Amino acid sequence: MTEPSGLHQKTFLLLLAAVSIAFFWILLPFYGAVFWGAVLAIIFAPLQRRLTLALRGRNNVAALLTLLLVLLLVILPLTVISASLINQGVGLYDNIRSGQLNFGLYFQRAVDALPPYVRVMLARVDLTSIADVQAKLSASALQASQFLATQALSIGQNTAQFMISFGIMLYLLFFLLRDGPQLSRQIRTAVPLSQTYKQHLIQKFTTVVRATVKGNVAVAAVQGMLGGGIFAVLGIQGALLWGVVMGFLSLLPAVGAGLIWAPVAAYFLLTGSTAKGVVLIAFGVLVIGMVDNVLRPILVGKDTQMPDYVVLISTLGGMALFGLNGFVIGPLVAALFIACWDLHSQGDDAAPSA
């Protein structure tokens, strides 16, 4: 006796959901490798297509050349910067632990340089306990630098796991580059949506991934280099470390690198290093700030078509949930959320153009 078609369909959908969840669960230990393999494949897909045409359809050779370019342009520079960053982080931790760097002392110098009426105002809000603030600043600085040192040790201990994940990412990236168009067609065929919806959502997905990664990474790299450079010129210890931190924070629109250079500039002004403070403020506002105001709308905002506040909130939420991967996942989910509701509000016959 044959099963009713409705029961058969429901059973198959349950089976499909179960095996899909099981498959994603299996991939979970290496989700970072799979995620970045897919992201890099989307970013370098246009280059792969051009090389395939130039090589007259030899997909394997084109994918291998694209993979080598990814290693030279992306992986190798990140490896060198990471190694230097770890060394400076460990050195900073040693200096704080030995007392060569005392953030509590820097705070006291800044407070002593304040006008008397400002200190009275601080007293009214219970901020005159310099010893307590010093202890908290010193403890926070020690914990932050200790975290960097711990991460360096953890990386060393987990080298085997890192190399496995790295190998999986490169292996997957090769096949995604080579077979990307075929996989894309299979996904479009399998997704049970109308052609209009599928085209709009897939285009939105690829556009946001490329804009978020290329745009934010470009802005972060430029702001990090500029911030680290001005710190080195002004003689601030750990310029490379602070440059990387500013680059990382520049992933957050509006606030970004100013969270680092603004307090340093204020300290210079309060402690009598007026020239350094003025130079740092002018450079931060006119150069570092202009990079964010000029490049980000061109590279990110125009393509994602999302307001800065949505990008900021989704980036923070994504990084809180997924770590560094969240700076891509957060805005991507936000963009798909907006796109889906936009399609819903427009209706089947009035889907917006991508």
- Asked if residue 354 has pLDDT above 50, the reply is no
Q: pLDDT band at 218, cuts 50/70/90? A: confident
pLDDT at 334: 86
* CA distance linking residue 222 with residue 215, whole number of Å: 11
Dihedral sign for Cα 115, 116, 120, 123, please: positive
**pLDDT average, residue stretch 22-40:** 88
- Asked if residue 113 has pLDDT above 50, the reply is yes
- Asked if residue 275 has pLDDT above 70, the reply is yes
- Asked if residue 216 has pLDDT above 50, the reply is yes
**pLDDT average, residue stretch 280-290:** 86
Q: What is the mean pLDDT of the chain?
A: 76
**pLDDT average, residue stretch 191-219:** 79
pLDDT at 90: 65
Between 70 and 272, residue with greater pLDDT: 70
- Asked if residue 299 has pLDDT above 80, the reply is no
Which three-class secondary structure state does DSSP give residue 306? coil
Task: Tell me which of 123-137, 210-224, 278-292, 326-340 is least confident.
Answer: 123-137
250 within 8 A of 223, measured Cβ to Cβ: yes
Tens of pLDDT, residue by residue over 157-182, are 556 677 788 888 899 999 998 888 88
**pLDDT average, residue stretch 313-320:** 82
Between 266 and 150, residue with greater pLDDT: 266
300 within 8 A of 215, measured Cβ to Cβ: yes
**pLDDT average, residue stretch 316-337:** 83
Tens of pLDDT, residue by residue over 48-75, are 889 888 888 888 899 999 999 888 887 8
Q: Which residues contact 312 (CB under 8 A, 6 or more apart)?
A: 252, 253, 254, 255
Task: Name the H helices within 254-306.
Answer: 258-270, 274-283, 289-296, 302-304
**pLDDT average, residue stretch 270-290:** 84
* CA distance linking residue 334 with residue 298, whole number of Å: 19
139-160 exposure pattern, b = at least 16 Cβ within 10 A, e = fewer:
eebeeebeebbeebeeeeeeee
pLDDT at 33: 87
Instruction: Give the best-scoring range by mean pLDDT among 1-5, 8-12, 80-84, 116-120.
Output: 8-12
Between 230 and 352, residue with greater pLDDT: 230
- Percentage of the chain beyond pLDDT 90 is 4
- Asked if residue 224 has pLDDT above 50, the reply is yes
* CA distance linking residue 247 with residue 306, whole number of Å: 21
173 within 8 A of 179, measured Cβ to Cβ: no
pLDDT at 100: 61
Task: Tell me which of 29-43, 51-65, 190-204 is least confident.
Answer: 190-204
- Asked if residue 353 has pLDDT above 50, the reply is no
pLDDT at 22: 92
pLDDT at 351: 47
64 within 8 A of 39, measured Cβ to Cβ: no
Instruction: Give the best-scoring range by mean pLDDT among 5-9, 57-61, 296-300.
Output: 57-61
Residue extents of the structural domains in the chain: 32-183, 196-354
Task: Tell me which of 43-52, 65-74, 133-142, 338-347 is least confident.
Answer: 133-142
Task: Tell me which of 79-93, 134-148, 310-324 is least confident.
Answer: 134-148
